[in-house]
Amino acid sequence: MRIIPAIDIIDGQCVRLSKGDYNTKKVYNENPLEIAKQFEAHGIEHLHLVDLDGAKASHIVNHKVLEEIATKTSLKIDFGGGLKTDEDLKIAFESGATQITGGSIAVKNADVFKGWIAKFGADKIILGADANNEKIAVSGWLEESDEDLIPFIQGYQKEGIQYVICTDIAKDGMLQGPSFDLYEKILKDCPNVKLIASGGISTFDELPRLKDLGCEGTIVGKAIYENRISLKQLENFIISTK
């Protein structure tokens, strides 16, 4: 199981929110590259980089941060937040993203998102399936849609999607543990999905449980920044699972 630390960006700074609420913003570092280099130094190979300004603006904003991390580390970066057009994707990939995540676009403009899968390949496109009460949430989680989570994922599997990041919004940033039951349900109902668990990770012990469930990756955010999980623990986990 891949360990994928998260860096969320507002105004070029590394921040965290609780339940996606911009009013709960907490700045952890003014220099995201510094954080990314710490991750790399502990054997971490992947990074989940979220452009929160982009999510609000509905177009890519913090691509310079992406470019800086991509050129000055060897991290494989999946990038998301406000990607709406082919031009946004072009900028993201040219700035060094290995993969991009599309969430709201997959709900609000399915034809565009399906076009990305066809154009760039399913290995480059991650479906962002962020949910509240098993309903897909959109627009930086500011809106709930009528889409049910499982059928939403299943529909995109038919379009070729392999990678899915699922965040249970009620858990995100709350440090109360991830939605094990929800992930178990997804893995059962959506065979062969490469599920990346996100939201609520609070202790190291939760990581082996997610691995045993069958998650392909886990995004870890606030637990790192609040020193609930150390980078040394993550480094040892990565070594032990290779």
On whether the CB atoms of residues 150 and 190 are closer than 8 A, the answer is: yes
What is the C-alpha to C-alpha distance for residues 88 and 61, in angstroms, rounded to an integer?
Answer: 9
Sequence-distant (≥ 6) Cβ neighbours of residue 89 within 8 angstroms: 83, 100, 116, 120
12 class by beta-carbon count within 10 Å (0-12 exposed, 13-18 middle, 19+ buried): middle
Of the residues 8, 78, 88, 168, only one is catalytic, namely 8
Tokens matching residue 128: 């962002």
On whether the CB atoms of residues 193 and 173 are closer than 8 A, the answer is: no
Give Cα 129 to chain centroid, integer Å: 10
Is 205 among the catalytic positions?
Answer: no
Is 168 among the catalytic positions?
Answer: no
Of the residues 51, 53, 130, 168, only one is catalytic, namely 130
Up-side HSE of residue 76: CA atoms within 13 Å toward CB? 11
Helices (H), the chain: 32-41, 52-57, 63-72, 86-94, 104-108, 110-120, 149-157, 180-189, 206-213, 222-225, 231-240
> Phi and psi dihedrals of 143, rounded to 5?
-130, 150
On whether the CB atoms of residues 28 and 68 are closer than 8 A, the answer is: no
Residues assigned a catalytic role: 8, 130
